[in-house]
Amino acid sequence: MHGSVAPVVQVAASEHDARLGLVEFLLASTDLQASARRVIDWLVTQARIRHAVIALAEPSSSQLLIVAEHGVSSTAIVDFVLTRDDEAHPLIKAMHRKEPSYFDGQQTFRSPLEGGFHGVPLRLDDSEPPVGLLLTSAVASEIRSEVIWVATMLARQASRLMSRDALAETRFGQERMLLYSIINAVTDPILLTDTEGKLIIANTHAEKLFAAPEDAGEGWRRAVGLNNMLFSAALSTSAMSESELARRELLLVDPLEGSDLLFELLSSRARDERQGTYVVSVLRNVTDLARAKEEIEESYRTLRVAQAEVRDERHRLELIIDSVADPILVTDQEGDIVLMNEPAERLFNLRADADETTERRINSNGAHLTSFVSNVLTRTGEQRYRGEIQLTDPVSGRALPVEGVAGTILSEQGELMWVVTILHDMTEALEKRRLAAQLEIKVQAATAELAQQNELLRRQHIALEQASALKSQFLANMSHEFRTPLNAILGYTHMLLHGVTGPVSEQQRKSLTRIDSNSQHLLALINDILDITRIEAGRMPLNLSSFEIPELVNEVMSELEPIISRSSLRVTAKMLRTLRPIKSDRQKVKQIVLNLLSNALKFTPAGAVTIAASYDEHRRWVAISVKDTGVGIAGEDQTKVFEDFRQLDASPTRGYGGTGLGLSICRRLAQMLGGTIELRSDVNKGSTFTLRLPVRLRRR
Amino acid sequence: MDTPTAQPLVLVVEDYQDAREMYAAYLSFSGYRVAEATNGVEAIEKTIELLPDIILMDLALPRMDGWEATRRLKLDERTKHIPIVALTGHALAGYAEGARQAGCDAFVTKPCLPDALVAEIQRMLSAKSESGSARKSARPGRTRN
């Protein structure tokens, strides 16, 4: 009764029991589809077949119908169309063979099973036509004996039950099975219950929640019991309300994990004439949804906070940039302005009420800005660009030269996000620059003028020096030229007086004496002028020596002895006993003292003249004073006496004689010697001239 | 010459006629023999020709100035023993020194009264006769009037 490929095997006792169980079921069953399903179950549990399909051939129909399957997708079942007449089809061929066929998975036709499988014909014996085909997944051509056996069992059952009704039943069963597989394909648990919640049909996902397998543990069972209770309760409350579609939340327990699962329960009532009212329920797992919702809410809250922060930040930013007097603009990579402060708005923001001129200026400003910003947009690698832009004040139309600095803001990926541009009004700077330039020009002009003046002064100074030198030279020459004729005058007068040319009368002698004295006066004047000239020209040399003052005073007094003796004056010298020699130019000191004494004699009609010499406190200076009891000099005239050609009695130089240059020369000489001449005098009481000289004169 | 006791000969070199003749007259009056020259070139010629006992030399002279004439005379073996008294109207420092460097033996500033000049000449000649007794006496006498 077995095909040749079916090996005869000794089966184990437990397997034997299983076979017996199947046979008993088949004998008792009148439902071909149920039988087929049982066979599949048996194959799965006993023969460890992973995928299996049973297709039956209806005698009245040309189609093969799948009545049971395991591990086959509903799509594959729906797609499966096989006609019995299609004799070229490998599966039809396999059905008509006596032995099982092996397909190695390389087949090109469509089949419900993927990969390798066996096609086992279902037939009672070789003489009868096949009733169907059993497909079982396989990895090798070798076929299990259980498969052969069960195929035989199924073939017998099929031929027994296959009648018109049975086949009709089979067709219905196939549809039901399709429905099952569709329901099972739905991931949401779906249940069909009576109004009490008693389970009629459940898809596999629902079974997981509401049915425990026989070998399930205690916890599982309890969880399933709890779930059934919760579900019934939920249904009963929904049954109270007569709404067509009840929707509520239902908290169940995951029997395997023990964790809470939140479902949305959709249930609707259906009325069936045969079975009465029942309830279809769909459970949608919203645990994740709820969690997601929470998360979304949390995210949303965070987002709101972040948005608020961003808003604050932006507000702060706007406050900051608005507080900056310089226009600041942020442009995007397209060059469009996305943010600007108030000063920038004045230049670039076109207000609705702007007139045509203003609009044109603002548009022009915008164009300038765009071309400026394009410098950073187009130059890759440069993050900063600095340059000048010529803008226009939109309101006044005044030219507005600005310096712009544009910097780029890059994203983390280094893409250019924004360009920030800061503009700085350069009107003032330019004005300052212009003023500075003007100032510079003025300063330069002033400096040039100053230099010119300086040069002029320098030249004048040189000219003055030259003039002074010329003057000195002129005076020197003049004194020489004076001397030559004077020499002749004096000489011939002298000769006449000496009787060289014969005797002279008394009257002639008197005249000759007048000639002689006037000539002598003229000579004295010339000598004094020459002295002054020499001092001023720096051509009066100093001859330093050490000498005694009393000796010098005596010399002076003896030289003036003729004058002294002719006067009725009492002339005395008061020399300090401790006087020591001084170092100076003896000849010049003598000239000064001689002059002072002769002046004193000249201007003192009666009384006394006293010459005194002493040290100052620190013995650094020696003072030689000539004191008289003469006419005196008034306070306002006391400085004048030292001036050139000055005798206080303006008319009568003749009255007192002298050149009027004596004191002037004395003061110059005293200065040469590092000393001074002082005058103290009262009118009609006399004068005191004091010469102060350093004890030791050093050459400068 | 005629006599060993002849009066000393003074050569007066002066371009200014009034002064020259004045000094000449007074020197003659004082008992000296006098020769005259009006410039440096003439002074050298007269000196070589006459070999005077002393020369009175004005420094500012035409053709050749007194310094140059003095320098040449003092370089000449025949004339270098003759004392030269420089005479100048310039009293400025440096004139006396310049004259001394040129070889002048004395320096007199104008104006110089005739008797002062004669006194200086007398002094020079007596100094000369004392230093060189081998030479003939230069003492002037008033034998000639």
State mean pLDDT over B128-134.
Answer: 59
User: For residues A82 and A11, which has the higher predicted lDDT (pLDDT)?
Assistant: A82
Res. A242: pLDDT tops 60: no
Instruction: Look at residue A465 in the predicted model and tell me its pLDDT.
Output: 82
Q: Does A527 touch chain B (CB under 8 A)?
A: yes
Res. B142: pLDDT tops 80: no
Res. B54: pLDDT tops 90: yes
State mean pLDDT over B109-120.
Answer: 84
Instruction: Look at residue A699 in the predicted model and tell me its pLDDT.
Output: 65
User: For residues A278 and A228, which has the higher predicted lDDT (pLDDT)?
Assistant: A228
User: Which residues have a Cβ under 8 Å from the Cβ of A404 and sit 6 or more positions away?
Assistant: A369, A372, A385, A386, A387, A388, A389, A421, A422, A423, A424
Instruction: List, as ranges, residues 93-132 from B with C-beta within 8 Å of A.
Output: 93-94, 110-115
DSSP string covering A443-466: HHHHHHHHHHHHHHHHHHHHHHHH
User: For residues A506 and A32, which has the higher predicted lDDT (pLDDT)?
Assistant: A506
How sure is the predictor about A244, in pLDDT bands with cuts at 50, 70 and 90?
Answer: low
User: Which residues have a Cβ under 8 Å from the Cβ of A226 and sit 6 or more positions away?
Assistant: A252, A253
DSSP string covering A350-365: --TT--HHHHHHHHHH
Over residues A33-47, the pLDDT tens digits come to: 888 888 888 888 888
Q: Where in chain A is the domain with CATH 3.30.450.20?
A: 186-285, 328-425
Res. B134: pLDDT tops 60: no
User: For residues A513 and A129, which has the higher predicted lDDT (pLDDT)?
Assistant: A513
Q: Coil, helix or strand for A615?
A: strand
Res. A652: pLDDT tops 60: no
CB A101 within 8 A of CB A118: yes
Instruction: Look at residue A150 in the predicted model and tell me its pLDDT.
Output: 87
Length of chain A: 700
- The CATH T-level fold of domain A186-285 is Beta-Lactamase (3.30.450)
Omega of the bond prior to A401 within 30 degrees of 0, cis? Answer: no
User: Which residues have a Cβ under 8 Å from the Cβ of B90 and sit 6 or more positions away?
Assistant: A476, A480, B59, B60, B109
State mean pLDDT over B84-106.
Answer: 74
Residue A134 forms beta bridges with which residues? A54, A120
Residue from the list A486, A491, A539 with its beta carbon closest to the beta carbon of B93: A539
Question: What is the 3-class SS of A290-302, one letter each residue?
Answer: HHHHHHHHHHHHH
| Cα separation, A601 vs A523, whole angstroms | 21
Share of chain A above pLDDT 90, in %: 2
State mean pLDDT over A505-517.
Answer: 88
pLDDT, averaged across chain A: 81
Residue matched to tokens 């994990």 = A257
User: For residues A480 and B95, which has the higher predicted lDDT (pLDDT)?
Assistant: A480
Q: For residue A481, which residues of chain B lie inside 8 Å, CB to CB? A: 89
* Distance (Å) of CA B2 to CA A422, B5, B7: 125, 9, 11
With CA atoms as reference, report the closest residue to A571 among A542, A616, A612, A513: A612
With CA atoms as reference, report the closest residue to A585 among A549, A542, A536: A542
Q: Does B16 touch chain A (CB under 8 A)?
A: yes
| CA distance to partner chain A, nearest, from residue B69 (Å) | 21
Instruction: Look at residue B131 in the predicted model and tell me its pLDDT.
Output: 62
State mean pLDDT over A345-356.
Answer: 83
| Cα separation, A91 vs A473, whole angstroms | 154
CB A72 within 8 A of CB A110: no
Over residues A49-88, the pLDDT tens digits come to: 888 988 887 766 778 888 888 888 777 777 777 887 888 8
Lowest mean pLDDT across A4-13, A372-381, A568-577:
A4-13
Q: Which range, A417-431, A461-475, B70-84, is most confident?
A: B70-84
Q: Coil, helix or strand for A530?
A: helix
Res. A267: pLDDT tops 90: no
The tokens for A483 are: 């001397």
Q: What is the DSSP letter of A335?
A: S
With CA atoms as reference, report the closest residue to A334 among A211, A414, A419, A409: A419
Assign residue A686 a region (left: φ > 0; alpha: ψ between -120 and 50; beta: otherwise).
Answer: left
Q: For residue A494, which residues of chain B lie inside 8 Å, CB to CB? A: 113-115
The tokens for A307 are: 């948005």
| CA distance to partner chain A, nearest, from residue B124 (Å) | 21
Res. A654: pLDDT tops 50: no
Instruction: Look at residue B95 in the predicted model and tell me its pLDDT.
Output: 66
Whether A492 sits inside 8 A of B22 (CB atoms) is: yes
Q: For residue B113, which residues of chain A lie inside 8 Å, CB to CB? A: 490-491, 494
| Cα separation, A578 vs A615, whole angstroms | 9
Q: Which range, A20-24, A318-322, A414-418, A474-478, is most confident?
A: A20-24
Instruction: Look at residue A581 in the predicted model and tell me its pLDDT.
Output: 86
| Cα separation, A216 vs A223, whole angstroms | 11
Residue A337 forms beta bridges with which residues? A331
Q: Which range, A193-202, A286-295, A385-394, B45-54, is most confident?
A: B45-54
User: Which residues have a Cβ under 8 Å from the Cβ of A480 and sit 6 or more positions away?
Assistant: B89, B90
Q: For residue B108, which residues of chain A lie inside 8 Å, CB to CB? A: none
Whether B89 sits inside 8 A of A523 (CB atoms) is: no
- The CATH T-level fold of domain A542-694 is Heat Shock Protein 90 (3.30.565)
Find how far residue A37's CA is from the centre of its chain: 80
How sure is the predictor about B2, in pLDDT bands with cuts at 50, 70 and 90?
Answer: very low
How sure is the predictor about A166, in pLDDT bands with cuts at 50, 70 and 90?
Answer: low
The tokens for B134 are: 């081998």
Instruction: Look at residue B90 in the predicted model and tell me its pLDDT.
Output: 66
Whether B111 sits inside 8 A of A483 (CB atoms) is: yes
With CA atoms as reference, report the closest residue to A572 among A592, A557, A588, A593: A557
Instruction: Look at residue A380 in the predicted model and tell me its pLDDT.
Output: 64
Q: Which CATH superfamily is domain A328-425 in?
A: PAS domain (3.30.450.20)
Res. A527: pLDDT tops 50: yes
pTM score > 0.80 for this model? no
State mean pLDDT over A639-666.
Answer: 63
Terminal Cα distance for chain B, rounded: 19
Lowest mean pLDDT across A16-30, B30-44, B52-66:
A16-30
Question: What is the 3-class SS of A85-128, one letter each residue?
Answer: CCCCCHHHHHHHCCCCEEECCCCCCCCCCCCCEEEEEECCCCCC
User: Which residues have a Cβ under 8 Å from the Cβ of A562 and sit 6 or more positions away?
Assistant: none
Question: What is the 3-class SS of B37-106, one letter each residue?
Answer: ECCHHHHHHHHHHHCCCEEEEECCCCCCCHHHHHHHHHHCCCCCCCCEEEEECCCCCCHHHHHHHHCCCE
Q: Where in chain A is the domain with CATH 1.10.287.130?
A: 426-540
Q: Where in chain A is the domain with CATH 3.30.565.10?
A: 542-694
Q: Does A520 touch chain B (CB under 8 A)?
A: no
Contacts 24+ apart (CB under 8 A), B61-65: B61/B13, B61/B15, B62/B15, B62/B38, B63/B39, B64/B39, B64/B40, B65/B40
Instruction: Look at residue B56 in the predicted model and tell me its pLDDT.
Output: 92
CB A579 within 8 A of CB A619: no
Q: Which range, A271-285, A366-380, A425-439, is most confident?
A: A425-439
Share of chain A above pLDDT 70, in %: 90
User: For residues A1 and A205, which has the higher predicted lDDT (pLDDT)?
Assistant: A205
Residue A55 forms beta bridges with which residues? A66, A133
Structural domains in chain B, CATH included, are: 9-131 (3.40.50.2300)
Any idea which architecture A13-182 has in CATH?
2-Layer Sandwich (3.30)
| Cα separation, B62 vs A489, whole angstroms | 23
Residue from the list B92, B112, B113 with its beta carbon closest to the beta carbon of A476: B92
User: For residues A468 and A330, which has the higher predicted lDDT (pLDDT)?
Assistant: A330
Res. A276: pLDDT tops 80: no
State mean pLDDT over A477-493.
Answer: 83
Res. B8: pLDDT tops 80: yes
| Cα separation, B77 vs B32, whole angstroms | 25
| Cα separation, B48 vs B40, whole angstroms | 12
Residue matched to tokens 């061929």 = A93
User: For residues A631 and A643, which has the higher predicted lDDT (pLDDT)?
Assistant: A631
Question: What is the 3-class SS of A187-242, one letter each residue?
Answer: CCCEEEEECCCCEEEECHHHHHHHCCCCCCCHHHHHHHHHHHHHHHHHHHHHHHCC
Res. A651: pLDDT tops 60: no
Q: For residue A476, which residues of chain B lie inside 8 Å, CB to CB? A: 90, 92
Q: What is the CA radius of gyration of chain B?
A: 14
- The CATH T-level fold of domain A426-540 is Helix Hairpins (1.10.287)
